[in-house]
Structure 1
Amino acid sequence: HHIVFLEAVHLPLATMPFDYTMDKYQKTSPGEIKERIKPATIVISNVVDVKPSDMDAAPHLQLLAVLATGMGWVDKEYCAKRGISVINAPSANIDAVSEHFLALYFASRKRVGVIDRNVKTSHEWIQTNSLTKKIWPAGPPLGCKQETLGIIGYGALGKRIEMLCKALGFKEILVAERRGVTTTRGGRVAFEDVLKRSSTIVLVCPRDQDTINLIGKAELETMRRDALLVNMARGGIVNEAALATALREGRIFGAATDVLDTEPGGPGTSPLLPDLSKGEEEVPNLLVTSHVAWFSGSTIQTL
């Protein structure tokens, strides 16, 4: 076999129990995929999407291995027609991603980043003796025992987050039914009702044709004023421009995301990431991490 490993920057690859040669690239842009995978019998990807037009250039390709849980971008019908097997790593990162959700939840509710920056860069705490009114002008933040959690996406990750939040004493946990369905399964709550009732909403659903722009202007306007939105799923599920507007207008308490429409991201690549050097205004009450929720020792060992 000849293996082409497209994104070695993310994690090391164990030795395979068969004879093989390998081309290993630290990172690969979408425009480089087609040329790089031409000689491959096995292609290993993590984040970058390998499209049918890329695989057309690889006549000997037998296996597409995705070193991740999510693989909604894979054209399974194309692969089946070509006889290309597709594998992924289901549940490999559940512990890491659920723990990262908690990190974003607490950091957002407690405004950890804002307070840290204020204390390190100003004398306001010394001058006023308290930052509470500045940080939380609408009143104290909710505690776990006051939280109603809405889970959108109830696979293994959603269930793990549910378990952790129950252990933390969340007041109520709502599991959302799919948007647009006419009947609600037992144990589920209508999608719109979850938006209306939840104080914290976590997105852990796959990205597909039914979830693109799942959360847009109308959905954000439906949420509570004290709602916190946390996206642990994929870019494209939340309309970034609508979220930036909602945060600037104070329609919801805050948001946190580990994923973006365009990755890697930075100043100017997203409505959520304005270029401050050009005088653009920062989006308030927002935490962004760089698609690192999956990264932990246990995940690497499992992969």
Structure 2
Amino acid sequence: MPSPSLSQPPPLPPGKDRHHIVVLEGIHAEMPPFDFPHTIDVHQRTAPSQVVERIKGATIVIACIVPVTPEAMDHAPHLGVLAVMAVGIQWVDKQDCARRGVTVTKCPAGNVDAVTEHFLGLYFASRKRVVQVHNKVTKTNEWLEKGTLTKLWPSGPPMGAGQETLGIMGYGTLGTRLEKLAKAVGFKEVLISERKNSKATRPGRVSFEETLRRATVVAICLPKEHDTIDLLSEAELRSMRKEALIINVARGGIVNEHALATALKEGWIAGAATDVLETEPAGLGTSPLIPDVAKGEEEVPNLTISSHIAWFTQSTIKNYQRLLKEGVEGWVNGTLQLDEDKVHKVVVVHNGTVWN
């Protein structure tokens, strides 16, 4: 049992008889019912410039992608918990939250099945050039006139799964699940990449450089941190096989977008697919991967983009709602700290300590 000092419910602000919840991005999913006295403001979307005004009276803030910065928290004196309805929380300043005594929770592994399944969809779409074929059929008469669209693969027929060597970058919950799916689909070989610039290679892993040299499909499954930004840039892309694909289901900015656009235009690699971009939401001209062709910008070939939607399944929504509820109600009830050395799995920061 946790000690009383660790398990006491947090006090309400002076003069208040209930908590006030502010939801910054209700557009993504419905909120679960919370079983404690509260008021709630649900904003479907929030621009960064609106955060300060919206959270200033909150004890509980629920966010997803829009950052709640230290500067914004300066104007929210009663904030006790920042609950992130997502897995990735790279925008959270954990040390600052610990200093303030603000608890941070997230939804660990809530989207793993959905994201790894989406990886397979992007892989097949990229290798089979599904989007390009669809566009040819629906926007031109090329199939009708030529009788075949196999010339969309100028180097010859594409690989099948049984010929592919998958290189997984990021071997956490997502990467381990992806390994199982890839083997079930029939990938010939799966390589687990060691960290970039690592001085030693752990058993069962392959060096970062060798993974890039050998893989015909590179899966990006790791968090966006200071040491993974631009993990793949020009030098790395040039070292890859010409028939290789890159599939990114992690975060934008891990693969340098300028370098990837150049690699695809100049044929350093065969193709790429990404569910994430450095600037989101995205549109024409917001990324080197999304040129505005109407303004004379060159199209990026052999690229498939989905709109950060890999997580979106019925099971993920249920998982997020459950984990969000556990985190918020655990904070309100003072039960997130299980003992001196253990906290609930949703906890990132609690009681002035960064737990993960």
TM-score, scaled relative to structure 1: 0.98
Question: SS of the counterpart of 1:8?
Answer: coil
Distance 1:49 1:287 in 2: 27
Partner of 1:178: 195
Distance 2:267 2:253 in 1: 22
Among 309, 326, 338, the residue aligned to 1:292: 309
Question: SS of the counterpart of 1:287?
Answer: strand
Partner of 2:135: 117
Matches of residues 84-95 of structure 1 in structure 2 within 5 Å?
Answer: 84-95=102-113
Distance 1:123 1:80 in 2: 61
Sequence identity percentage = 57
Deviations 1:63-85 (A, max 9, x none): 00000111121111111111111
Q: Which has the higher contact order (CA 8 A, sep 6+)?
A: 2
How far the C-alpha of 1:126 sits from its partner, in A, is: 2.1
How far the C-alpha of 1:54 sits from its partner, in A, is: 1.1
Partner of 2:49: 31
How far the C-alpha of 1:122 sits from its partner, in A, is: 1.9
Question: SS of the counterpart of 1:173?
Answer: strand
Matches of residues 1-303 of structure 1 in structure 2 within 5 Å?
Answer: 1-132=19-150, 134-303=151-320
Q: Which amino acid aligns with 1:25?
A: H
Deviations 1:213-257 (A, max 9, x none): 101000000110000001111111111001000100011000111
Farther-moved stretch of structure 1 (39-48 vs 122-131): 122-131
How far the C-alpha of 1:22 sits from its partner, in A, is: 1.0
Question: SS of the counterpart of 1:44?
Answer: strand
Distance 2:67 2:310 in 1: 19
Distance 2:94 2:141 in 1: 57
Q: Which amino acid aligns with 1:18?
A: F
Question: SS of the counterpart of 1:266?
Answer: coil
What are structure 1's unaligned runs of at least 5 residues?
none
Distance 1:297 1:104 in 2: 19
Q: Which amino acid aligns with 1:299?
A: T
Distance 1:294 1:239 in 2: 22
Farther-moved stretch of structure 1 (121-130 vs 196-205): 121-130
How far the C-alpha of 1:19 sits from its partner, in A, is: 0.6
Distance 1:81 1:107 in 2: 46
Which structure has the larger Rg?
Answer: 2
Question: SS of the counterpart of 1:151?
Answer: strand
How far the C-alpha of 1:113 sits from its partner, in A, is: 0.7
What are structure 2's unaligned runs of at least 5 residues?
1-18, 321-356
Q: Which amino acid aligns with 2:251?
A: R
Deviations 1:75-115 (A, max 9, x none): 11111111111100001000110111011000000000111
Distance 1:146 1:286 in 2: 21
Distance 2:253 2:68 in 1: 18
Distance 1:84 1:201 in 2: 38
How far the C-alpha of 1:129 sits from its partner, in A, is: 1.6
Distance 2:203 2:72 in 1: 43
TM-score, scaled relative to structure 2: 0.84
Question: SS of the counterpart of 1:229?
Answer: strand
How far the C-alpha of 1:302 sits from its partner, in A, is: 1.0
